[in-house]
Amino acid sequence: GESVGLHLPTLSVQEGDNSIINCAYSNSASDYFIWYKQESGKGPQFIIDIRSNMDKRQGQRVTVLLNKTVKHLSLQIAATQPGDSAVYFCAEKTSGSRLTFGEGTQLTVNP
Amino acid sequence: ETGVTQSPTHLIKTRGQQVTLRCSSQSGHNTVSWYQQALGQGPQFIFQYYREEENGRGNFPPRFSGLQFPNYSSELNVNALELDDSALYLCASSYAGNTLHEAFFGQGTRLTVV
């Protein structure tokens, strides 16, 4: 079936570096994508979203890039901080408001 | 904080029992979705409620059922609990009139079935 997956299960970076988390999706009909951050013991927290008619969207220290040609989504975090350590999920909106999540990438920020 | 609250935060049940989990949606939101998140996995869509009716369902058996109330709060009921039902159950609320349908999640209920 259609699914959203991630290229790397873990990512370790030094504090202050930029982080890039990748995601592949397979449903070419999806029109909306979201990145969530999930800290241990908490629910997913909305970070940033992007519609399929956009290639790039920027937020505070975060940028999402969408490449529809290769069905690839990425999340860039600038000047990564220890508080950014968490699991990051990309999610794809399929039918209605149903979200399909990938398996997640564990980001670890080393001081 | 998203304004989505879930209760209880943790509970332990015995195989075969029934459980009810509760969710209060964020103010102004009229749609509630439930997800199951197994350890180390991404959330899996269970079902969604809109205007007190089920509006989409994932690949979960009928022993997973739900309700939505006039105030848009919701319950998830699971009958005949199995060990594999142990997971974090997440509730997400959204507003159906928002074309982006941004969903905000609660903190989840950690269910352990023994």
Residue at token pair 């259609």: A2
Rounded to the nearest angstrom, the minimum Cα separation between A29 and chain B is: 15
Plot region of B52 (φ>0 → left; ψ -120 to 50 → alpha; else → beta): left
The SS3 of residue A20 is: strand
Q: Which of B92, B58, B48, B94 is nearest to A43 (CA)?
A: B92
Q: What is the dihedral of CA B5, B10, B15, B19, to 10 degrees?
A: -30
Could you tell me if A103 and A5 are in contact, meaning their C-beta atoms sit under 8 angstroms apart?
yes
Residue at token pair 């015995």: B14
Q: Residue B42 and residue A96: Cβ atoms within 8 Å?
A: no
Rounded to the nearest angstrom, the minimum Cα separation between A17 and chain B is: 26
- Dihedral angle sign, alpha carbons of residues B98, B103, B106, B108: positive
Q: Residue B43 and residue A44: Cβ atoms within 8 Å?
A: yes
Q: Residue B43 and residue A89: Cβ atoms within 8 Å?
A: yes
pLDDT digits (tens, 9 = 90+) for B23-64: 999 888 889 999 999 988 899 999 999 989 998 899 999 999
Identify all chain B residues contacting A36, using CB atoms and an 8 Å cutoff.
105
Provide mean pLDDT across the span A60-75.
Answer: 95
What amino acid is encoded at A94 in this protein? T
Sorting pLDDT into bands at 50, 70 and 90, what band is B1?
low
pLDDT over threshold 50, residue A1: no
pLDDT over threshold 90, residue A70: yes
Question: Between vectors from CA A58 to CA A52 and to CA A63, what angle results, nearest 5°?
Answer: 85
pLDDT over threshold 50, residue A2: no
Q: How far apart are CA B16 and CA B113, in angstroms?
A: 9
pLDDT of B28 reads 83
Nearest chain B residue to A104, by CA: B42
Q: Which of B63, B95, B68, B69 is nearest to B82 (CA)?
A: B63
Residues 6 or more apart whose CB falls under 8 angstroms from that of A97 comprise: B31, B33, B48, B56, B94, B96, B101, B103
Give me chain B's average pLDDT, please.
92
Identify all chain B residues contacting A23, using CB atoms and an 8 Å cutoff.
none
pLDDT of B29 reads 86
